[in-house]
Amino acid sequence: MSRILALALGLLVAFQARANDAVTFATDWKAQAEHGGFYQALATGLYAKYGLDVKIHQGGPQTNTSQLIATGAVDFAMASNAFFIANFVQAKAPVVAVMATFQKDPQVLITHPRDDVRSIADMRGKPIMVSTDTKTAFWPWLQKKYGFADTQIRPYTFNVAPFLVDKGAIQEGYLGSEPFQIARAGGFQPQVFLLADNGYPGYAAMVVTQTKTAEKRADIVRAFVAASIEGWRDYLHGDPAPGNKLIKAANPDMTDDLLAYGIKQLRDHEIVDAGGRIGAMTDARWAEWLAEMNETGVYPADLPIKTGYTLDFLPSGSQL
């Protein structure tokens, strides 16, 4: 065997070994349109194209993605909102965000049609159903920003039935999910208040990994980010059918009409590709978020937020 042929075979073996790199990714909820780009990248072979063998673990009400990534149980995880990142920083956890899937957070507050609530400010003093996670995420910001109090909190169990039977109810939700369920089951269009349109500047659905992974397996992180961005572009602006097929296989409760509704909301509100830059993060945007949180008393101004994310793996122009 010639030396050149041996070298070529050696490079091929090395490439094949890298192409089989197993990667695990945990989402923050059951498979849905809000995870579509990741499933699209898997379904269309984009992850394989970048040398990755990706397995997606869907979340649910009992899933603790913070614990999964902090303990190294998965290679990547979805941090639902910017509060996750700030809490990692406060705890000095060796975890960093490497891309922001959502440029606008799709978290909403929902009411029945009613004359006494025309804004989030009008909800002050009224009962609001929120989840356990929200109590340590958006709720403190809502308290400081709009004067909400803990006495308003009612439990939200991710079931819209209690909301439907109580015309005075207010509940949290996701832009592409609960409003659709309420309209379908209740026969009316609820009032929907997007936090991002009411003073909340944070990213959402960040992809996070351990700091040591970012440092020692940078090629894998870069590949995962690049393939995921391509997957999201294809899911939103191409044919989402491949991704949807995997979503429905993972989550049998998911329907075609709900997926179509979710995709439409992501597009119409520019949740993913505001400004045309999918996955983007910037120092300026993170600084703006921290300033807002400091102004409302949620986090101190000197929180070293830059230790909680890295721009190193984003495409050129996504970190400017």
Q: Is the pLDDT of residue 237 over 80?
A: yes
Mean pLDDT of 104-119: 97
Both tokens assigned to 233: 């572009």
Token pair 């009409």 is found at 257
> What is the set of domains in the chain, with CATH numbers?
3-103+202-308 (3.40.190.10), 107-197 (3.40.190.120)
The reported pLDDT for the residue numbered 111 is 98
pLDDT in tens, 238-280: 999 999 999 999 999 999 999 999 999 999 999 999 877 899 9
Do 60 and 271 meet the contact criterion of CB atoms below 8 Å apart? no
In terms of phi and psi (left: phi > 0; alpha: psi -120 to 50; beta: otherwise), the region of 126 is beta
Name the DSSP letter for residue 273. Answer: -
14 vs 96: which has the higher pLDDT: 96
Strand pairing partners for 100?
A: 206, 279
Mean pLDDT of 44-60: 97
